[in-house]
């Protein structure tokens, strides 16, 4: 594992740190809200490593107008959302010695001076597929401008490395919603469980808290959708409970990142939710589903990051990913943003809500197959399983649209990296204006990694839908019976994802087949090897069809 430490220094920060050091004789003293201090956050990206990050912190962030976007608070909050991911070392370490799943967020709470942290659902196996999230509560005494002490409660929702909760991401509809008027069922259900736990936490501890109680909540991706729904519940609840007793809207600070739209347009309350900020990237496909064209939406203020990376953002992104195969790639461009937007519009009109609801159980079952074994998750990591999910879902989508999910897999991954969001927010705060901005050339940077299996299909160009004749003139019935194990393109006696990759390579003219391979690859037995064979093979591997 590599650790990366990045310190954001300026003359102003150095002076404030010096003043803080002089004024603070005890490390446990509450930092005066006029001071900014640098803190360490230990976060995880969506890849398999942890990051040591640094960020500015001040109590004053939570006394500013919560209806005005604060980029410094946004950067700090995003890093905490990354800290809430399951620790990669938990997924990949030995069972007896691996770090706890909540290790990173616990470390980050302590760095910020939070106490009394409570963790929920982090101990549930990552193979669990129920409509839930892991989350945590922690408290910190802060000072207002007059020196009075208030209580800040952090509610941070896990949004990465969570395993089987992927199934819940696709649980958009419930059988009791025939008119499609309810929010996304999986997100809504998890948010209600979070709300109930938070209400109990306030009911048990509220009277012991000092001064005004302030709420700080965040999440990334799935965690963002749940945190967004949770903040909306807190803002709009009509219940007479501990939440309404101890909290007021002007004390709620909610930032979500890469947030799928899980709410309903018909349920939006712009006035109540003006303290919520949802930060999205036009180069990220994840916040485009479920489709806004179906009536889904996010709660609060939606803010888009730039669709290109300036020099400062690209340099910081490369620093964050230094030493990995993702260093040097540009996760954002005008072209990518336009491609995803066009695809979203086309797919939402092709796939109606009725169509998706009919397929929902099948898709959830398909997704769930990637998360059956905790041992498999520990050895191969979440990315590998997520990739299989995308490839398998691509078999459905290929039948309805010309957008190739497999070919665009790298773009989907890069666009959804939290490091991509962090770099763009960082550049808005610390952009070096003395450097020449060559962002126009960055727009054309290809998002390709030669070591990624899925990139092998990028050379196909217009050949994806081209029928390829099997390389044999001896394709007789007797030959078919002699060699045939349909789908076994690698001739290893089994049918799996390696066969899908091998057929993709053949269609792209990267390899040649011997007669046995050609016969086995023609799974629909129409005398051609093409994308229709790959589609059927993927459905078979996913268990959605029993035979070819």
pLDDT, tens only, 362-393: 888 878 877 877 665 554 444 445 555 555 56
Q: Contact, 76 vs 422, CB < 8 A?
A: no
DSSP characters over 138-206: EEEEEE-TTS-EEEEEEEEE--SS-GGGHHHHT----TT-TTS-SPPHHHHHHHHHHHHHHHHHHHHHG
Question: How many Å separate Cα 411 from the centre of its chain?
Answer: 14
The residue whose two tokens read 């803002």 is 235
Q: What pLDDT is stored for residue 465 in this prediction?
A: 38
Q: How far apart are CA 284 and CA 260, in angstroms?
A: 10
The first and second tokens of residue 10, run together, are 């300026």
> Hey, what domains does the chain have and what are their CATH numbers?
11-437 (3.40.50.1820), 465-541 (1.10.1330.10)
For 275, phi then psi, to 5°, come to: -95, 5
The residue whose two tokens read 């109680």 is 213
Q: Contact, 385 vs 435, CB < 8 A?
A: no
Q: Contact, 512 vs 471, CB < 8 A?
A: yes
User: Strand 276-280 and strand 252-257: pairing?
Assistant: parallel
Length of the chain: 548
With the C-alpha atoms ordered 179, 184, 190, 195, is the resulting torsion angle positive or negative?
negative
**Long-range pairs, 482-485, Cβ under 8 A, ≥24:** 483/515, 483/516, 483/519, 483/520, 484/519, 484/520, 485/520
What is the helix (H) or strand (E) element at residue 21, kind and residue range? helix 11-23
Q: How far apart are CA 91 and CA 188, in angstroms?
A: 27
What is the helix (H) or strand (E) element at residue 215, kind and residue range? strand 213-220
Q: Contact, 154 vs 80, CB < 8 A?
A: yes
Q: What pLDDT is stored for residue 92 in this prediction?
A: 66
Three-class DSSP category at 395:
helix
- Strand-pair partners of 39: 55
Three-class DSSP category at 302:
strand
Going along 45-79, which residue ranges are E strands?
50-57
Q: What pLDDT is stored for residue 348 in this prediction?
A: 84
**Measured CA distances, 147 to 18, 150, 230 (Å):** 20, 9, 31
Task: Residue 134: name the closest of 91, 178, 194, 90 by CA.
Answer: 194
Q: What pLDDT is stored for residue 508 in this prediction?
A: 64
Q: Which residues of the chain have pLDDT under 50?
A: 1-34, 379-384, 437-480, 482
Q: How far apart are CA 289 and CA 259, in angstroms?
A: 9
For 329, phi then psi, to 5°, come to: -90, 150
Q: How far apart are CA 305 and CA 420, in angstroms?
A: 10
The first and second tokens of residue 225, run together, are 């959708």
The residue whose two tokens read 């060559």 is 438
Residues contacting 34, CB < 8 A, separation 6+: 58, 60
User: Strand 149-157 and strand 213-220: pairing?
Assistant: parallel
Q: What pLDDT is stored for residue 542 in this prediction?
A: 64
Q: What pLDDT is stored for residue 122 in this prediction?
A: 95
Q: Contact, 529 vs 466, CB < 8 A?
A: no
DSSP 8-state symbol, 453: G
Q: Contact, 77 vs 142, CB < 8 A?
A: no
Q: How far apart are CA 245 and CA 177, in angstroms?
A: 32
Residues contacting 185, CB < 8 A, separation 6+: 131, 171, 172, 173, 174, 177
């Amino acid at each position: 594992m590599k650790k990366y430490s990045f310190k954001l220094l300026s003359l102003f920060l150095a002076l404030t740190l010096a003043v803080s050091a002089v004024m603070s004789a005890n490390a446990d003293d509450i930092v005066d809200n006029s001071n900014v201090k640098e803190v360490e956050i230990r976060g995880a990206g969506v890849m398999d490593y942890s990051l040591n990050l640094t960020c500015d912190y001040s109590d004053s962030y939570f006394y500013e107008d919560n209806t005005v976007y604060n980029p410094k608070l946004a950067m700090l909050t995003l890093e905490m959302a990354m800290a809430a991911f399951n620790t990669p070392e938990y997924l990949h370490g030995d069972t007896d010695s691996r770090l706890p799943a909540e290790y990173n967020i616990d470390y980050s709470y302590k760095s910020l001076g939070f106490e009394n942290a409570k963790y929920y659902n982090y101990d549930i196996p990552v193979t669990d597929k129920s409509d839930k999230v892991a989350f945590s509560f922690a408290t910190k005494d802060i000072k207002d401008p007059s020196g009075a002490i208030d209580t800040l409660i952090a509610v941070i929702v896990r949004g990465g490395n969570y395993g089987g909760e992927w199934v819940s991401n696709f649980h958009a509809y419930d059988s009791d919603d025939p008119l499609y008027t309810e929010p996304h069922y999986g997100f809504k259900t998890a948010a209600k469980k979070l709300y109930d736990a938070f209400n109990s936490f306030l009911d048990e501890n509220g009277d012991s808290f000092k001064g005004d109680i302030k709420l700080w909540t965040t999440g990334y991706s799935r965690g963002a959708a749940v945190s967004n729904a949770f903040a909306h519940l807190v803002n709009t609840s009509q219940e007479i409970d501990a939440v309404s007793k101890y909290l007021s809207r002007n004390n709620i600070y909610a930032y979500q990142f890469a947030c799928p739209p899980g709410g309903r347009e018909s349920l939006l309350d712009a006035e109540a939710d003006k303290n919520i900020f949802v930060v999205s990237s036009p180069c990220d496909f994840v916040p485009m589903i479920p489709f806004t064209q179906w009536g889904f939406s996010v709660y609060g203020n939606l803010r888009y990051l730039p669709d290109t990376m300036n020099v400062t953002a690209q340099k910081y992104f490369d620093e964050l990913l230094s030493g990995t195969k993702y260093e040097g790639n540009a996760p954002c461009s005008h072209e990518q943003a336009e491609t995803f937007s066009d695809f979203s519009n086309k797919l939402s009109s092709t796939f109606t809500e009725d169509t998706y609801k009919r397929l929902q159980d099948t898709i959830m079952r398909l997704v769930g197959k990637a998360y059956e074994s905790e041992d498999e998750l520990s050895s191969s990591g979440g990315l590998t399983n997520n990739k299989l999910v995308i490839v398998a879902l691509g078999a459905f989508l290929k039948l309805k649209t010309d957008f190739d999910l497999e070919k665009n897999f790298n773009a989907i991954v890069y666009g959804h990296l939290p490091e991509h969001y962090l770099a763009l927010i960082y550049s808005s705060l610390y952009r070096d204006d003395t450097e020449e901005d060559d962002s126009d050339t960055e727009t054309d940077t290809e998002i390709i990694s030669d070591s990624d299996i899925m990139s092998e299909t990028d050379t196909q160009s217009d050949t994806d839908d081209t029928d390829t004749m099997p390389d044999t003139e001896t394709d007789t019935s007797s030959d078919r019976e002699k060699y045939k194990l349909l789908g076994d393109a690698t001739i290893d006696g089994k049918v799996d994802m390696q066969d899908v990759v091998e057929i993709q390579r053949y269609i792209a003219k990267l390899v040649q087949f011997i007669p046995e391979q050609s016969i086995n690859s023609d799974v629909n037995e129409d005398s051609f090897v093409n994308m229709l064979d790959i589609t059927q093979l993927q459905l078979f591997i996913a268990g959605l069809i029993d035979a070819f």
